[in-house]
Amino acid sequence: MQGQLRKMHAQLDMDRSKPVRYELPVGEQLVALNPLLGKPIKLVYAGKIFCIHCNRSIKKSFNQGYCYPCFTSLAQCDMCIMKPETCHYAVGTCREPSWGEEFCFQPHVVYLANSSGIKVGITRQTQIPTRWIDQGAVQALPIFKVQSRYISGLVEIAIAKHVSDKTSWQQMLKNKAEPVDLAAKRDELIAICKAELDEIAQRFDPQALEFLADETAVDIHFPVDSYPVKVKSFNLDKDAEVSGVLHGIKGQYLLLDTGVINIRKFAGYEVEFSA
């Protein structure tokens, strides 16, 4: 089958002991990937790239799939998406105020996750557990619910002074994360950050920062039969053909016996997929 790549669809099974179910969008078709474990697959880049927003044909993509005009004009590509504490909506310079009102001014969750080690992160409430899966987290625990992306960024910055806010994708793919008592770590971090968290709560409505004391950690299992010892990453711009035996799927990566490929990085690339 042939078509444009998009980020993989992922879904937790109702039976949490079972691995995440993955599907690969290729054009209008969805490829169920879990049944392909242990089998050879092939991706061949056809030489065409299309913007995932406006669908124009482009020679180079930016920010995982956008053309340059979209990258420089869309609010979803602005720096404040990566660093929400820099939100500039209040000063009237948001690229798309209506988009910001819909996506940024809605409930967000601050969470702890264990992917390449413990980290703090944020996501829209509607993106749980998708965000955790995309990061390759094997454990995750919501710790705060807040009213906006901006507030979640302020909380994240406070906690990130004491724990990482990034994932090492190489370590994540090697499955090097040791089990962590996330609830105990949550309590430790909240105690350390109490003064800063109290200050954030006082700046906004009393309901703007809700501590999620009753949440329990979620364990996530990925469909992987073996992890790479050394991580070799494929780049479709340099390697038009990617092939090998599929040994696993984790985060947005396919793990082959010949190397790994980040599917999300190549969203909008037209490929031929075979298995």
Query: Residue 219: beta bridge partners?
Result: 139
**97-124: average pLDDT:** 97
Give the pTM: 0.95
181-200 confidence digits (pLDDT tens): 999 999 999 999 999 999 99
Q: Is the pLDDT of residue 58 over 90?
A: yes
222-251 confidence digits (pLDDT tens): 999 999 999 999 999 999 999 999 999 999
Q: Is the pLDDT of residue 16 over 90?
A: no
Query: Which residues have CB under 8 Å from 198's CB, separation 6+?
Result: none
Share of the chain above pLDDT 70, in %: 100
Three-class SS state of 162: coil
22-37 confidence digits (pLDDT tens): 999 999 999 999 999 9
Query: Which residues have CB under 8 Å from 243's CB, separation 6+?
Result: 40, 41, 42, 43, 256, 258
Q: Please report which confidence band the pLDDT of residue 57 belongs to, taking 50, 70 and 90 as the band edges.
A: very high
Per-residue pLDDT at 205 = 84
Q: Is the pLDDT of residue 13 over 90?
A: no
Query: Residue 29: beta bridge partners?
Result: 26
Written as one letter, the residue type at 165 is: D
In the numeric block, the tokens 């937790």 are attached to 12
Q: Please report which confidence band the pLDDT of residue 153 belongs to, taking 50, 70 and 90 as the band edges.
A: very high
